[in-house]
Amino acid sequence: MKILVISDSHNRTINKLDLSLYDYIFHCGDILFSDIDYFPLYPNLFYVRGNCDYNSYPSNITKTIANFKIFVTHSNIYNTKYCYDDLINNTINKYDIVLFGHTHKQTLFKKDNTIYLNPGAFKNDEYAHIIDDNIYLLKDNVIIDTYNVKKVPNTSN
């Protein structure tokens, strides 16, 4: 299984990637307008509203894929520009994976039994892949870090 995770494209089109290669695509918000016409072409593309999106997208979604319960949010409603405490307190041990955006910073950590992944800002060519049991952080189409989902580093923050 191959999952693409992106966020904060801010009018930069995601169609420069071959979206047909992915079983699922998650966009964690701040889409704006450039890609919205393409989204219906991909029934396995799921997205949430960011703080720059002025539309009726949902603020959060939950999907279960391959026995992983996944929560997707832009995370501005959890004040993640300052710290992750609100996001963690509202999601820890309720989900296997939490995908979030907003900070424009690639982030990957584990707290108890929950993995937290921010793919960074797609407008800066940052995104992530989840392929089988591995998470890849990419910048400019180059893998900059790889983690096995069973070995994501724990954090105390």
Taking the domains of the chain in order of start, what are their residue ranges?
A: 2-151
From the number of C-beta atoms within 10 Å of its C-beta (0-12, 13-18, 19+), residue 143 rates as exposed
pLDDT of residue 156: 47
CA angle 118, 50, 56 (to 5 degrees): 140
Q: Which helix (H) or strand (E) holds 20?
A: none
Each residue's pLDDT expressed in tens, for the chain with a length of 157 residues:
999 999 998 888 887 888 889 999 999 988 876 667 777 788 899 999 888 887 778 899 999 998 889 999 999 889 898 899 999 999 999 999 999 999 999 999 999 999 999 999 999 999 999 998 899 999 999 999 999 887 777 774 5
Nearest to 97 by CA among 110, 87, 84: 110
Helix H or strand E encompassing 14: none
CATH class of the domain comprising 2-151: alpha beta
Residue 84: predicted pLDDT: 94
